[in-house]
Structure 1
Amino acid sequence: MKRTPEYVLIINSIVVLSLFSSCNNKVEKNEITVEVTNSLDFERKEIVAVGYNKLSLLLKNNAQEHIKVKKQDTEEYLLTQWIDNNQDGIMDDLLFQAETPANTSVKYVIVIDSINHVKKTKAVTFSRLVPERTDDYTWENDKVAFRTYGPEAQRRIEENEYGGTLSSGIDLWLKRVDYSIIDKWYAKNVETEGYYHIDHGEGYDPYHVGKSRGDGGIGIWENDSLYVSKNFIAYRAIATGPLRTVFELDYAPWSNYNVKETKRISLDLGSNFSKFDIKLVSEKEVPNYTIGITKHQGKGTVKMKNQEGLFRHWEPIEDAFVGEGVLIDTALVKESINYDSKTSDQSQVLIVTRPKGNSLSYYAGFAWTKSGQVSNVEDWDNMLKKQIQIINNPLKVQLK
């Protein structure tokens, strides 16, 4: 058959278009491999983050909700969470929970899938303001729960009204289930006041904070006294589960130094430790910022390891034991004091830190023997030792 010039031109055009399309298909990725490396000698299960900008090729023509993550060579998708850390309306990171054996790298795959869904789980992170109980701010995950107190609770104390609390300390809720209990316990407490002070099988709140620092509150240690803020005056919810909850609390200027304080608190799924990132601005130079752990009636035992940045309290509460702890960069530790006082709520472990610019970061957490996470003080010490290693040796995340 004789081929006309027009025929040859059409065939050549098709070949060129085919090659161009083929090249485009090779350039446009439909999956990304993520290698997560654990350099420590024990297994870890932690939340890792992949930056939004590193997923731009996948997101080019796809919705965020169609991004899925799975372990390489498996089919089941993992829980994920997008998070906007700076609240500018643009997502910053994609979170997922990585499991890595000791001294091992594990590969995960980020793919596009608009059809299949991620299996739901009852274990999540959660936080919120609780106006039905004055104005607590409460947060939890599958291991632990915490709370602190707002301006309405302060007002009631200052105006001699019932139901107030004056404290910027960090309260502990002892839970022994992996699902969220905040909404349930508060709802039950509205029906029957004092409900969450009784263990109905899920845990309860026997922990007393008062004017102490609870587990991880701060102050300024000066002239054998600890000067502290009152209740928070404003809050901002940044993120709520399923893998990480984040929020901020503002405090009115406090102490003779007129310290303006903003706490950013975050809690990851699977962790016993809240992270505190605190911004502090003062009118004049502050001698220190001191982190406290309350000692109830002096019944507990204390361990202070300045060179490790590890501070522990272990105490009996009713018919069980609770371990509290603070973990911090050793470069920030000036001294630590096992302080005893005849004044109520003032016997505390005090971690005196050197001010470093306008910020202070540390972790505070706990474990309760009835949760099944620890059985004795040795277990708690081991958990703290592992956590300080985790903080100092974060999982390495590389995109392939």
Structure 2
Amino acid sequence: MKINVGVLCAIMMVFFLTSCKAQKANKIIVSNKSSHAIKDKVISLPWSDVKQKYPSLDINSFRIVDITSKKEVPYQLEFKGNENVQNVLIQVSLDTKTALELQFENKKHIDFVTKTFGRYVPERLDDFAWENDKIAFRMYGKALEEGGKGNAYGIDVWVKRTNEMIINKRYKLAKYHVDHGDGLDYYHVGFTLGAGNMAPFVNDSIWYSKNYTKWKILDNGPLRTTFQLEFDEWDVNGNKMDAVKTISLDAGSQLNRIDVKYTTNNKSLEQIPVVVGIIKRPESGFHSMDIENGVLGYWEPKDVKYGTTGVGVIIPSKVDDMTVRNDQFLVMLKIPNNQHYTYYTGAVWDKAGDITNKEEWFQYLNEMKLQLLNDNISIQF
């Protein structure tokens, strides 16, 4: 049987073009349209768009593949506290003006490395602790007050120099003020807002809430941990107020995303004056107050034994003022009553080796503010 070479070539060409067209139709393209590189950024692919692109995708068993490298891309299904999936989260690093082409397949995925984690800690006075592969934090619960231990209004920082999750290990050892080789808790909060907590600011006074009374985990890794803390009603200059704070920490980031909702019985109060604070050490450190861009950075004085912690706050909206008041740096602004407001706060430790001086820390905060203002990640389904 003779085969016509011309016909065979034509058939092969049709097959090739059809395969290319099918592959192109089935890929999702994530592009960096900005003029700066993006490193280890967690992005959201809306689940509704993914399902429309891949209607037969098995939610319980699928994988994502980088078409160029043929490597699997770890992901997380984000629920945001709902019963149904809201987003597929992936972590990407992209040079400027480059793109990542993804293919979703109905195949079992690899085991994912946990990069974020958080939990309620009943064994330690109702702490709530959370971490990622860079840094760790905690806030204090009601049992701290009831146990006669006093109050602590702020966000605590647990420095770390490992990508592994350390919260459970440190609580089990019950010696988290000692460095066992992966970091420790040497950050002091006291009666301040600590590392970037928020509180109402009325009549030249900070009206601290007490510690949180309820908690709820919305998502818990491997790429993003999100949880809610509720604060019981307290007095704010004669008005009754309560609060819900939703805190989210992504893998690879030094910063928490904090969504705050204050509600008061004074219905005529449209805006609530608030402050976001960072505790100031008595020794000499370095700070940067950029009121126009809403960025506050603090590089603490060096601890001879433990190193240096940097703390920072990013405010997306208009800032009224920044000041040093007693033992705190304060960012002053107004947020809407009974509505959600989002800002960012976080920390870094020089011994982790990623950011080792004040210039690098302040630059990181400024670059993150630019990314938040101009998110030039494009997703093509």
Instruction: Give the TM-score of the pair, scaled to structure 2.
Output: 0.87
Q: Give unpaired runs (5+ residues) of structure 2.
A: 1-20
Contact 1:28 1:57 in 2 (8 A): no
In the alignment of these two chains, the number of paired residues is 354
Residue aligned with 1:387, SS: helix
Whether contact under 8 Å (1:253, 1:261) holds in the other structure is yes
Bigger Cα Rg = 1
Please give the TM-score of this superposition, normalised by the length of structure 1: 0.83
How far apart in 2 are the matches of 1:71 and 1:257? 54
Aligned pairs (5 A) from 1:201-280: 201-254=181-234, 255=236, 256-280=238-262
Where do 1:107-146 residues align within 5 Å? 107-115=100-108, 117-121=109-113, 124-146=115-137
**Could you tell me how far 1:70 is from its partner in structure 2?**
2.5
Distance 1:48 1:287 in 2: 31
Equivalent pair of 2:159/2:185 in contact (CA under 8 Å): yes
Letter in 2 for 1:282: T
- Name the CA shift for 1:381/1:29 in 2 (closer, same or farther; >3 Å): closer
Q: Deviations over 1:119-155 (max 9, x none)?
A: 543x510000011112100010000100001111221
In structure 2, the residue matched to 1:384 is: 365
Cα distance in 1, alignment partners of residues 204 and 116 from structure 2:
38
The amino acid across from 1:141 in the alignment is: N
Give 1:368 shift. 1.0
CA–CA separation in structure 1 for the residues paired with 2:118 and 2:111: 22
Residue type of the partner of 1:332? Answer: K
Instruction: Kindly indicate whether residue 319 of structure 2 is the aligned counterpart of residue 333 of structure 1.
Output: yes
- For 1:35 and 1:28, locate their aligned partners in 2 and report how far apart those are by CA, in whole Å: 15
SS in 1 for 2:216: strand
2:29 pairs, out of 24, 28, 34, with 34
1:35–1:106 CA contact under 8 A, matched in 2: yes
SS of aligned partner of 1:65 = coil
Distance in 2, matches of 1:317 and 1:128, equals: 30
CA–CA distance in structure 1, aligned partners of residues 192 and 288 of structure 2: 19
Is 1:101–2:107 an aligned residue pair? no
Structure 1 contact 214–292 (Cα < 8 Å) conserved: yes
How far apart are residue 200 of structure 1 and its match?
1.3
SS in 1 for 2:336: coil
Tell me the distance in 1 between the aligned counterparts of 2:335 and 2:112. 43
Cα contact 1:48–1:397 (8 A) shared by 2:
no
Alpha-carbon shift at residue 31 of structure 1 (Å): 3.2
Determine the C-alpha separation between the residues in 2 that align with 1:57 and 1:312.
43
- 1:1-400 aligned at under 5 Å gives the runs 31-57=26-52, 60-85=55-80, 87-102=81-96, 104-115=97-108, 117-121=109-113, 124-157=115-148, 164-189=149-174, 195-254=175-234, 255=236, 256-284=238-266, 285=269, 287-319=272-304, 320-329=307-316, 331-340=317-326, 347-357=327-337, 358-400=339-381
Measure, in 2, the Cα distance between the counterparts of 1:27 and 1:101. 27
Give aligned-pair identity as a percent. 28
Which runs of 5 or more structure 1 residues have no equivalent in the other structure? 1-25, 158-163, 190-194, 341-346
Query: Helix, strand or coil: the match of 1:382?
Result: helix
